[in-house]
Chain A
Amino acid sequence: MQIRREDVDHVADLARLSLSEEEREKMTRELNSILGHVDKLNELKTDGVQPTFHVLASLKNVTRKDEVIHGLDRDRALQNAPSQKSGCFAVPKTVE
């Protein structure tokens, strides 16, 4: 499959990367080169093969008791925030 420049624009938008014009051109070439190698997968017939999303097949629905346990307190959770206000993370206004 060929990846086109429009695909790169679309994917960059999905991934929230404001790539420069130059990066977009380069990315188109490089992704095609990598995906060209990945196309090797199509040499294999995989009808009826189950996918492996995870190797620890024995682990299913790992849960714990529904009890309150101590987490990070607010000051620590906020200590790395680029911007904070009134004990919250501060971000640009999103609704008018």
Chain B
Amino acid sequence: MALYYKSAKELAGMLSRREVSAVELTRAALDRAEQVEEKVKSFVTRTPDLALAQAEAVDRRRATGETLSSLAGIPVAIKDNMNTFGVRTTCSSKILANYIPPYDATVVDRLNAAGTVTVGKTNLDEFAMGSSTENSGFFTTRNPWDTSRVPGGSSGGSAAAVAVGEAVISLGSDTGGSIRQPAALCGVTGLKPTYGRVSRYGLVAFASSLDQIGPFGRTAEDVALALSAIAGHDRLDSTSAPVPVPDFTAGLNRGVKGLKIGIPREYLAAGISPAVREAVLRAVEVLVGLGAEAEEVSMPHTEYALSAYYVIAPAEASSNLARYDGVRYGVRAGEYSDLVDMFSRTREEGFGPEVKRRIMLGTYALSSGYYDAYYLKAQKVRTLVNKDFEEAFRRFDVLVTPTAPSVAFGIGQKTDPLAMYLEDVCTIPVNLAGLPGMSLPCGFAAPEPAAGVAGGGPTAGDGNGLRLPIGLQIIGKAFDEETVLRVGHAFQQATDYHKQRPALDAKGGARQ
């Protein structure tokens, strides 16, 4: 197996035994990016010089006999909405096209302390608003399984980079599904931790009561390694929770015997493609075969979560994005008549259509006369959605659902904003409740015909065995990422969906 496709766990062993140096591993990842980046376009900014300098430092420290973290020397990619000191951080927005952060986000700080190697900053939907990276102010990232399709979003660049071997681990952020849905569409493993588990300091804010940073990897074990490095209380984020952080890799092998799995029937209802539904139910059978007990459960408020989210998230976004005024940082409009005109033109020129739409929606929902009808109502409905979870978790250890309603869709296929919002119907309730959720590959399906969309029909590979990944979502109790990871690891020990690699540069779906 190519070095760049090995797991962080395996690479950590090779590095510590000096079978490979951090510089060699870093060169393998950089060369891989050189080879595939033109097709996939995962990165807004690549940082080869920084990566090699960091790798050399790791090799020097190891040569002195220092005991290093298991992530030391591992190539990582960072979503371009997390601040990196001295490295441009754009949020894939024209308004921040020239922004050079004067400090590191806490997660970046912690990865640096662990000795990881930063290979670049990954593309996203502008300000993390979207489910395809098509809303990026710069370009659309391609799905490595079929480059005519989207990688999902908003953390599409981070998911694609790990799927295609440009990085071993990456960081994403998830406000309504932005880690889990691209993980599903790209066939990798991605975890949104419990709200408060990981510091948001230095993450450019979208919706502050929902945003959470989490890792992508090609195995649940790698995700556990990465989470162990970034989790924990941070005095710079007052919403980071002062709770103990376990070693998330410690309990991975405990198995699922006797574990109680709930299958919320509302998540398998209308709108979920038959192939996805079948794959999820087959995955449950695998877990039952390993000794878990599964039972259906009803969560009646699920169907209201999306509506509540599309009031709450834009409301918080409209407030957070008020800071982009062309005064302290970012791109200022070239011509204006006075101060207010400068604000309005800067924002008009700097923001893309989806960001403007959400700012408008949020400003409206918070405006005088509509606050009670929309914002307060949505926050009350959020309480009801959360109560469904509370009740379910009295009976079950984890809940299992699809991550996304279908496999990756074609670039340009979803033009109606509402159709795009429905991509996150299975992931949004988890953010409203602040719970941990992980997506991992659980099967493959042929692309679905895009009904009624001109030019969105069968693409190259249809009927020729093109298979696209399907994601399984495992939802856990608050601060119980350990059980979520344990279920994911058990599933991956029994299946090989996560070992499939996209046939980007080989014919016929290379099986590793």
Contact = CB atoms under 8 A, between A and B. Distances in A.
Interface of A: 1, 3, 7-8, 10-12, 14-20, 23, 27, 30-31, 33-35, 37-44, 46, 49-56, 58-59, 62, 64, 72, 76-77, 79-83, 89, 91-94
Given A16-B340, A37-B418, A50 B361 contact: no
Contacts of B345: 18
B364 A11 contact: yes
Given A18-B347, A52-B432, A83-B332, 11 more contacts: A1-B370, A8-B360, A10-B367, A11-B363, A16-B325, A17-B344, A17-B359, A23-B353, A27-B356, A40-B303, A92-B339
A41 B98 CA distance: 41
A53 B241 CA distance: 16
B330 A82 contact: yes
Q: Which 7 A-B pairs have the closest CB atoms?
A: A55-B434, A51-B379, A80-B329, A82-B332, A18-B344, A62-B238, A46-B380
Contacts of B382: 51-52
Given A56-B195, A64-B235, A79-B100, A92 B338 contact: yes
B188 to A, nearest CB: 27
Contacts of B421: 34, 37
Given A1-B373, A37-B307, A50-B383, A15 B418 contact: no
Interface string B303-318: 1101110110000001
A2 to B, nearest CB: 12
Contacts of B379: 51-53
Given A16-B344, A54-B209, A81 B327 contact: yes
B381 A44 contact: yes
B360 A38 contact: no
A91 B364 contact: no
Interface of chain B, main secondary structure: helix
User: How large, as a class, is the contact surface on chain B?
Assistant: 35 or more
A3 to B, nearest CB: 7
Interface string B343-377: 11101100101001101110110010010011011
B331 interface: yes
A19 B349 CA distance: 9
A14 B370 CA distance: 14
A51 B160 CA distance: 37
Interface in B291-311: 301, 303-304, 306-308, 310-311
Given A3-B364, A76-B102, A89 B328 contact: yes
A34 B100 CA distance: 35
Contacts of A93: 339
Given A41-B308, A89-B327, A80 B100 contact: yes
A12 B360 contact: yes
A41 B304 contact: yes
Contact of B307 (A40, A83, A92): A40
Nearest to A54: B209
Given A38-B310, A40-B307, A41-B378, A49 B347 contact: no
